[in-house]
Every structure is written in structure tokens, then in C-alpha cells.
Structure 1
Amino acid sequence: MTRSQVSLRPAAVADALFLAELWADSLRRTDLQEQVADLEVVIKSAADSPEQRLLVAEHDGEPAGAVYLRVATVSPINLEPVVQALSPHVLPAYRRRGIGRTLMESAVAYAEELGVAHVMTAADSGSRDANRFMARLALAPQATVRVAATALVRSKIEAQRPGTGRGLTSRQRGQVLAARRSLRRKESQAEA
């Protein structure tokens, strides 16, 4: 029995459609044509930069997964260098064939090549399999990243602002509810 081959290669502009389908949940919400155009820019940028790599994993010659690697810092305030393995994804039909491991191995090799002591990645918080896979590779959680629409965050901030009547403390809320119950009782007694 022959073993299937997994190989990595740099992404080419022709891979943009494949990457748009693979990373559909990670891309900006727009039509497929604009996502493909975005990815063409990303592919060209990665090809021109010594600090970025966009790799496509192939299984028996067919595109099966991809990862975007870049050298950065842990955060803007923690300047420790790190290789970020962004969006290491494998098509569902190709999972459990060593492709994810190969993608993460490429991140480790890139870090070693550059003398970078840490590798960082992220997995969807709702993906139990992806998080377990990353944990088996010794990647521990460091932060929880939260995202929301700007307008939604603004509305929540405004609702919690003191003095607006909407962001009441629990004591104030209790007083308002007690006053409302009292008014209702008085109204129901007056009607009876």
C-alpha cells in the first residue's frame, strides 16, 4: 500500500479561488469576487516579503489546505518576536491525513530558520477538534480575542453609561421595578 504524499508549496495567484473557499469563514463579508481579489493582493504581498509566507498543502497533487505565516511580535506592547501561523485550515475531505501537522510543522521550520523562539496560532473558539489539535502540539491558550461590530459595541457602551437611565445599578434597577409594581397595584385597585 502506498502512502499518500503531502507537499507544501508557495501560494500562486491562481490559488486565490481555492483559498477563498478554504478560508470563507475568515474573510471579510463580501462577494466571492472581492474575496478572491483580496487574496490575490495577500498572495502577492507574501511572495514579495521575507517576513511572510503563504503556503498551500497538496495531498496527492490536489490542494487540501493552507496556512499564512508571518513574523510579528506577540502584541504591540510585548515585542517578543513570534511566527504567527494564521488560518491553518484543511478541507474537511482531507482531514486526519497529516496535513494540519504538516502546516504547523512549516510554521516551526520557519521560526527555526529565522531564529524566532515562539510560534503562535489561533483556532475558532467553537472548534473543539481544532483546539484539541493545537493543544496536542503544546500550543497553550494565551488570550481570548473578541470581535463585534463597532455600532453594536457603541450601543452597549451607551446603555451602560451611568445617568442615562438604561445603565442602572442593581439597586437602582430594584427601586425602579418596585415603583412600577406599586403603580400597577394602584392602577388595578383603582379599576376594581
Structure 2
Amino acid sequence: MSRPAISVKRVREDEQRPFTELWMSARVEAGVSPEVAARAASEGRVAAALGREDVRAYVAMADGRAVGFAVAATSPFSALTEAPCVTIDQLYVVPEARKHGVARQLMSAVTVYADSRGCEQIGCNVPAQHREANRFFARLGFSSQVVRRITTVSALRRRLGTDEQRTHSLEALLHRRRSLRARAAQSANRLAG
């Protein structure tokens, strides 16, 4: 059985539907409920991301259907360097199309994008628990450079013991009010954008 011909094209504003459907599938496969994924798409999260100048998305097609996507963004490698770097934020291939060269084709498109932006480095975000994805990137020459750890603000505050110190103070009350206002403003901006 021969492999289907794979074509990769940039996702344009008028061609977002196949990409959005794949993005929702990737979110569901990652453990997000279908309802939450659909709500995020309907709220314009995909359109907002694709509308940014520093973000580029590609969709891979095989036999007339979308089978994978890559999302890359250009930014400095770190806050203290000015050298631009393309970071692959997401790379996804539908399960039945994996191990057929789809991801390699998407990576080729990202490489051309990095060249066009004058970037000497390409980075990627790969969840530590995804062994196959880590192997794929390692085979392409990506090495582990940093480990990115994430926590919530409230969890860190508890661990640092600052919750107890600020519980009864006026400063704590003002801080909570500012945090609530900032979150409300972010939510309003997401809904408006």
C-alpha cells in the first residue's frame, strides 16, 4: 500500500475551519472535554491566535482531508536575548496518519518559515510524558535545553507561606481586589477579541 501524497499549506483567515477542527481534536486527545474545546474555538481563540503577526499555522492535507497541523511563533529565545527564535507551540497528527511522514512535512514548512524570519534556532514545546513526540524531536536533532515547570499563583503563594502573612492585612485585601479586577479585564478582553 502506497502512502498518500501529503501537501502542507499555511492556514489563512478564510481557511480556518479544517485547522480549527483538528485543533479541537488535539485538545480532546490531550484530555480537554469536547465542550470546552468547542467553546474555546467559538470564542475566537483560534482566530485571535492566527491573526497575530508573530504566529504561523500550517495544515497538512492527505487525500483531500486535513490530517495534521503545526503552530509556530517567532519571539526572542529568552527575555534577555535578542536573537529571534521560532518556537513550535503545537504539532499534531491524527492517529491514523501518524508514521506516514505528515509531521516531517509540517516541520519542513516550519523550517522555511524560520529561514524567512531570519531565525537561527527552532525550539519546541513537548510535554514530558509524550514519549513518542520526544523521540520524534530528538531524532530530528532537538536537544533538551530547559525544563519548563508551571504552577498556579495561589499554589505558589501557599508553598511560600505568604498566604498566612497577608491574610489579615489591608495589603492582602487590596491585592485580592487588584487580582480579581485583572482577571475580569482579561476575561472581558478575550470575549471582546
Partners of 2:31 and 2:140 in 1: how far apart?
22
- Deviation of 1:121 after TM superposition, in Å, equals 0.7
Q: Which residue of 2 aligns with 1:67?
A: 70
Q: Which residue of 1 aligns with 2:6?
A: 6
**Contact residue 4 and residue 60 of structure 1 kept, 8 A:** yes
- Aligned partner of residue 23 in structure 1, secondary structure: helix
**Contact residue 23 and residue 87 of structure 1 kept, 8 A:** no
TM-score by length of 1: 0.72
1:25-67: CA deviation from partner (whole Å, max 9, x where unpaired)? 39799723322125x4433542x44432111112222211111
- Aligned partner of residue 17 in structure 1, secondary structure: helix
**Contact residue 53 and residue 68 of structure 1 kept, 8 A:** yes
Q: Which residue of 1 aligns with 2:36?
A: 31
What residue identity is the alignment partner of 2:5? Q
**Identity between Structure 1 and Structure 2 (%):** 22
**Contact residue 70 and residue 106 of structure 2 kept, 8 A:** yes
Query: Aligned pair 1:78/2:87, yes or no?
Result: no
CA 1:59–1:122: 2 relative to 1, 3 Å: same
What residue identity is the alignment partner of 1:31? V
Query: Aligned pair 1:42/2:46, yes or no?
Result: yes
Partners of 2:37 and 2:72 in 1: how far apart?
23
- Deviation of 1:89 after TM superposition, in Å, equals 1.2
What residue identity is the alignment partner of 1:133? F
Equivalent pairs, count: 160
Partners of 2:141 and 2:60 in 1: how far apart?
22
1:157-188: CA deviation from partner (whole Å, max 9, x where unpaired)? 219x9xxxxxxxxxxxxxxxxxxxxxxxxxxx
**Contact residue 8 and residue 56 of structure 1 kept, 8 A:** yes
In structure 2, the gaps of 5 or more residues are 165-193
TM-score by length of 2: 0.71
Partners of 2:88 and 2:104 in 1: how far apart?
12
1:12-31: CA deviation from partner (whole Å, max 9, x where unpaired)? 33232331122343979972
Runs of 4+ in 1 over 4 A off after TM superposition: 26-30
**Contact residue 61 and residue 68 of structure 2 kept, 8 A:** yes
CA 1:94–1:3: 2 relative to 1, 3 Å: closer
- Aligned partner of residue 116 in structure 1, secondary structure: coil
Partners of 2:102 and 2:124 in 1: how far apart?
16
- Deviation of 1:125 after TM superposition, in Å, equals 0.3
